[in-house]
Amino acid sequence: MTKRILVPIDGSPLSLRALEFVLEEYDDVTIVALHVLDPTDPGYSSATSVDVRTEPPRGSEEWYERADAEEDRLFEKARERTDEYDAELITDHSTGDPAREIVAAAEEHNVDRIVMGSHGRTGPTRILLGSVAETVVRRSPVSVTVVRDESVH
């Protein structure tokens, strides 16, 4: 029976590790790669490697165009990895609060599981900043596997 697994991707090493985990652990899998654009996140840039001097104003047309180009690059990278395995890849994107959008996508795509990266925050940092992974775990209608950075203890 084919499993359908949602993997949120944002270009971070842990989101790519989550994709790798699914490819290594599951046979006969359909992966729904979801990219969520959060224009309200002050830490979000429309490109992974950005020079703040050339970053267009947040929310501008050019900023969204760069974000779309970055999203295309992320999906292409995911496609290259899944092509090496016997896995089907479906891509989806949304704009908004990442945790809310991930849970909504899990319901919309009727997935069996969510596999996602965690930034590995602990203690006061996690409490002050919140955690998308933690919110998804609490609100998800399906099981969630959180892939964490092995260097975080």
Does residue 152 form part of some domain? no
Going by C-alpha positions, the residue among 21, 44, 42 that lies closest to residue 31 is 21
What average pLDDT score do residues 10-15 get?
A: 89
Does residue 153 form part of some domain? no
Q: How many domains does the chain have?
A: 1
User: pTM for the full model?
Assistant: 0.84
β pairing state of 87-95 and 3-8? unpaired
Does residue 28 form part of some domain? yes
Helix (H), strand (E) at residue 38: none
Confidence of residue 11 (pLDDT cuts 50, 70, 90): confident
- Domain of 130 in residue numbering reads as 3-147
Going by C-alpha positions, the residue among 142, 113, 143, 117 that lies closest to residue 1 is 113
Res 43 pLDDT > 70: no
Instruction: Give the position of tokens 């964490």.
Output: 148
pLDDT of residue 131: 82
Res 46 pLDDT > 70: no
pLDDT of residue 61: 86
Taking only the tens place, the pLDDT of each residue in 85-140 is: 988 999 999 999 999 999 999 999 999 999 999 864 455 544 433 488 899 999 99
Lowest-confidence segment of 10-14, 20-24, 107-111, 141-145 by average pLDDT: 10-14
Res 49 pLDDT > 90: no
- CATH number for position 66: 3.40.50.620
Does residue 111 form part of some domain? yes
pLDDT of residue 130: 43
What's the chain's average pLDDT?
84
What average pLDDT score do residues 6-25 get?
A: 94
Going by C-alpha positions, the residue among 57, 56, 12 that lies closest to residue 148 is 12
Does residue 67 form part of some domain? yes
